[in-house]
Amino acid sequence: MISKWLDERLELKKFQAKFLSKTFPTHPAYLLGEIVLFSFITLVVTGIFLGFLYEPSVRLVSLFGAMVPASYASVVRIDLKPLGMLIRRIHHWSAMLMIASIILHLLRVYFTSAYRNPREINWLVGLSLLGISLGAAFTGYLLPYSQFSVTATSIAYYMVKSVPWVGDWISRLIFAGAYPSDGMVPRFFFYHVMLIPLVIMALISVHLTLIVKQKHTEPRSNIGRPEAEGGRRLIGIPIWPEQAIISLSFFLFLLFALAVLATYVPINPIEVYGAPHPGTPVMRPDWYFLWVYGFLKLIPGDLSVTIFGGKITPETIGGVIFPGVIFFIVALIPFLDRSGKMQNYNTNPIDRPFMTALGLGGAAFLIMTAVAGYIDVLHITPTAMLIYTIIVTLAVFGGIFAALSVRKKKSGA
């Protein structure tokens, strides 16, 4: 009755026939993109709850007899509300899950060569989503304005400021003046709750529209199956109702897992860190920024080059040039690894010795730079760590490349 009424007005049946009958691949690896999507939805919903209670200001207020920034006090008060701490922890765990699943999703796309023609544009859109999601996490860290917030964001401020010629101007623009400025918290609040989510939503819309238009890649085992022929009909299950039911169950399961995690495992305990004070110690960033932080530790402190009057310091090299180069190389992958024709079937990573070895070697390099973030705890000198990093990277690349090449030769492929 209601569906008939709605159908008369919105032509839902036409919509269902055109879009909801499209097929979704059944392999579980294709769920990674959905996990990203679900974590983002969870972030938005829990973020709305937090938005009602958070105060984006550094004015000093009294909290248990001490004068602390209002933003810090408001987050401590959220933690004291019934369910407040749970929702805040779910928000933070969802952010972790989102970044982790984006990285796994990227690796799935890379190792199955799903980025090739015609999906190069979607690779770039996806990579922008990774960059902007890291921006969301970074801006979120400043908001409670705890000791951790201040150390984490001040490192980034000095990195941006170190850029020759324009660094001072850009850092003032991003951080609302010289660090730490009174306008910094409201400005980061604007980035975190408005600018970045809007950009993420727009990019996700483009990403998904391109997937609908270009269709998913498929496992090679589907080649030649009669259902796959005739205009490349994807083999899988329809989005409505089968995939929708699987996705919804999966979403509910994820929510359950996040709630259990948030109940038992504390995250970003600002009450333990305390409000910022002049002697705030340097703290390590979260795992997804450790590769940048660790790389900075590998660069000799006195390394600097002057070009056209602009000074390039270790902060510029480690904090701006290094991540920029890594993102640039990743962006280039579909344009360097080209196959003339359209690639609608996945390739088994075992059959691509060079690209698989390159991917694993690159991952080993980034993991080693993240480990370098702990050289003070591990009592390793920067030079020794640099040598280990080079050895491990080359060993992983060389070992995988040799093993897969021999296998390929033997199988006569």
Residue pointed to by tokens 């201040």: 150
Q: Where are the beta strands (DSSP E) in 292-361?
A: 305-307, 310-312
List the one residue from 91, 119, 192, 352 that touches ligand HEM (CB under 6 A): 119
Q: Using CA atoms, how far apart are residues 221 and 346, in angstroms rounded to an integer? A: 9
Cβ-contact 178, 192 below 8 angstroms? no
Q: Which is nearer to ligand HEM, 43 or 317 (CB)?
A: 43
Member of 90, 129, 185, 290 binding ligand HEM (CB under 6 A): 129
**Binding track over 79-118 against ligand HEM, x by CB under 6 A:** -----------------------x--xx--x----xx---
CB of 106 to ligand HEM, least distance (A): 4
Q: Which residues are within 8 A (CB) of 128 and not within 5 positions of it... i.e. 6 or more apart?
A: 203
Residue 62, CA atoms < 13 Å, CB-side half-sphere? 2
Task: Tell which residue, 299, 297, 291, has the closest CA to residue 363.
Answer: 291
By beta-carbon proximity to ligand HEM, the closer residue of 21 and 405 is 21
Q: Which of 12, 206, 211, 239 binds ligand HEM (CB under 6 A)?
A: 211
Q: Considering the complex, what minimum distance in angstroms separates the CB of residue 160 from ligand HEM?
A: 23
- Which run of H or E residues covers position 322? helix 322-336
By the rule CB under 6 A, 122 interacts with ligand HEM: yes
Instruction: Show the site string, 32-61: x = touches ligand HEM by CB under 6 A, - = not.
Output: xxx-xx------------------------
- Among 127, 270, 296, 371, indicate the residue that binds ligand HEM (CB under 6 A): 127
Nearest residue to the partner ligand HEM, using Cβ: 126
Contact 400, 361 (CB under 8 A): yes
Beta-carbon neighbour count of residue 61 at 10 Å? Answer: 16
Candidates 12, 41, 195, 204; binder of ligand HEM (CB under 6 A) is 204
Length of the chain: 413
Residues 237-296 that bind ligand HEM (CB under 6 A): none
Judge whether 326 and 369 are in contact, CB under 8 Å: no
Considering only 23, 57, 133, 347, the residue that binds ligand HEM (CB under 6 A) is 133
- Which helix (H) or strand (E) segment is 23 a member of? strand 23-24
Q: How many residues lie near ligand HEM (CB under 6 A)?
A: 25
Residue 193 binds ligand HEM, judged by CB under 6 A = no
Residues 316, 320: Cα–Cα separation, whole Å? 5
Strand runs labelled E in 66-187:
66-69
Q: How far is the CB of 26 from ligand HEM (least distance, A)?
A: 12
d(CA 211, CA 119): 9
Nearest to 370 by CA among 283, 284, 287, 282: 287
Among 4-12, 52-60, 204-212, 396-404, the segment contacting ligand HEM (CB under 6 A): 204-212
Token representation of residue 275: 């409000």
Selected binder of ligand HEM within 91, 161, 192, 207 (CB under 6 A): 207
Report the residue number, 34 or 55, with the smaller CB distance to ligand HEM. Answer: 34
Contact between 349 and ligand HEM by CB under 6 A: the answer reads no
In this chain, which of 47, 69, 126, 314 binds ligand HEM, going by CB under 6 A? 126
Of the candidates 303, 377, 314, the residue with the CA atom closest to the CA atom of residue 155: 314
Nearer to ligand HEM, 73 or 127 (CB): 127
Cis peptide before 285 (omega within 30 of 0): no
Name the 3-class secondary structure at 305. Answer: strand
Q: Which 16-35 residues touch ligand HEM, going by CB under 6 A?
A: 30, 32-34
> For binding to ligand HEM (CB under 6 A), which residues are involved?
30, 32-34, 36-37, 102, 105-106, 109, 114-115, 119, 122-123, 126-127, 129-130, 133, 204, 207, 211, 216-217
